[in-house]
Amino acid sequence: MKYQKLGRTDIDVSVIALGTWALGGGSVWTDHESSEAETARLLDICRDAGINYIDTAPVYGTGVSEELLGKALEGRRHDFILQTKCSLNWRGEGGNFHYSRDGYTVNNDTRGPAIRRDVEDSLRRMKTDYLDSVIVHYVCKSFPVEETVDALEELIRAGKIRAYGLSNSQPADLEAYQNAPAKKQGVSLVQEFFSVLSPFHGRDYFPVCKKYGASFQTYGVLEEGWLTGPEFAEKEKAFRRTDIRSRLPWSAPEKLEGLRKAFELWKPLCAAHGCSYAALVEAWALTQFKQMSLLVGMRRPENVADTVKCLDIRLSADEIERIEQTVKAIQVEVLDK
């Protein structure tokens, strides 16, 4: 495993982070409901592989993911860097309507009291007295940035969080957070969608992350399974329409045909490096930014073992170009996840 600092903090995190969106299940991830035993075993496997960085959020299964992790972390909390999120909640205490799902109405609220309450709720669900990192899940223009930053910095001073970051945001949002009067530590991490099929937003963000020394953490580097190989298209047919894996644009005929051609053209690269399609595109992502963090959703031992292999792949400039050119015609600028 390889490690790096989280932004400009002294927190050492594995380059690969465990994404736990799928642990929440519900209508977004419909093929499997995770158990306490499975979650504990997953953390065992990650620890053995050197992965110490876990990302979750309150709304992943409306508390389910955090609760499963809380039980799995008992007795070994200090083995992991634990990151969750704030701003999306279902308490009915105000904010902007975000979505209704699985019997809950979720609002986006970045006001100070909501941020503090979010953190307290996450601490309770995960049975810990501190969080290593808290990400503003959806940056909101309706409430003052200064109020959000003030709450986050206050939580650092209180010892309840160690760092904070942004997600589902724009480069101008990072500028605004970094220039807020209350800022002391500042933003350590930006977490945004980024893959070879949708690289534009990330590339716009990289210069601003570099300017402020923030890490860039991808989500969706495998496009929720679509970049794991041509067999995924057959699996996708079994997912319900509410499932994130069936809602992405890659099943459209022209996109799917482009993906099939890409896999055929990538096959020799996989053979040359002795790796899977997934590890190949993960290795590609690591070439894109110096402080890149790969947030990968993994639920099975074989997923962890395969993902870790990407760290040993050395792609030449020509190979990087070939990987990108094969999908250039089907790339999209914006994805709704």
> Which pLDDT tens digit goes with each residue over 156-179?
999 999 999 999 999 999 999 999
For 131, the 3-state DSSP assignment is strand
Q: Specify the DSSP class assigned to residue 195.
A: B
Residue tagged 């040993």 (tokens): 312
113 falls within a domain = yes
- Phi, psi dihedrals of residue 24, rounded to the nearest 5°: -70, -20
pLDDT band at 335, cuts 50/70/90? confident
Task: With a cut of 80, say whether residue 337 has pLDDT above it.
Answer: no
Domain that holds residue 194: 3-330
Q: How far apart are CA 14 and CA 3, in angstroms?
A: 4
Chain centroid offset of residue 63 CA:
17
Q: Which amino acid is at 233?
A: A
User: What CATH number is given to the structural domain containing 116?
Assistant: 3.20.20.100
Q: How far apart are CA 141 and CA 110, in angstroms?
A: 9
335 falls within a domain = no
Query: Which candidate, 36, 50, 122, places its Cα nearest to that of 87?
Result: 122
177 falls within a domain = yes
The whole-chain average pLDDT of the chain stands at 96
190 falls within a domain = yes
**Strand boundaries in the chain, DSSP class E:** 3-5, 12-14, 16-19, 53-55, 81-86, 88-89, 96-101, 104-108, 133-136, 164-167, 187-193, 215-219, 292-297
pLDDT of residue 29: 87
Task: With a cut of 90, say whether residue 47 has pLDDT above it.
Answer: yes
Q: Per residue in 57-112, pLDDT tens?
A: 999 999 999 999 999 999 999 999 999 999 999 999 999 999 999 999 999 999 99
Task: With a cut of 80, say whether residue 16 has pLDDT above it.
Answer: yes
pLDDT of residue 24: 94
Mean of the pLDDT values across residues 236-250?
A: 88
How many domains are there within the chain?
1
Mean of the pLDDT values across residues 214-228?
A: 97
28 falls within a domain = yes
39 falls within a domain = yes
Task: With a cut of 80, say whether residue 9 has pLDDT above it.
Answer: yes
Task: With a cut of 80, say whether residue 296 has pLDDT above it.
Answer: yes
75 falls within a domain = yes
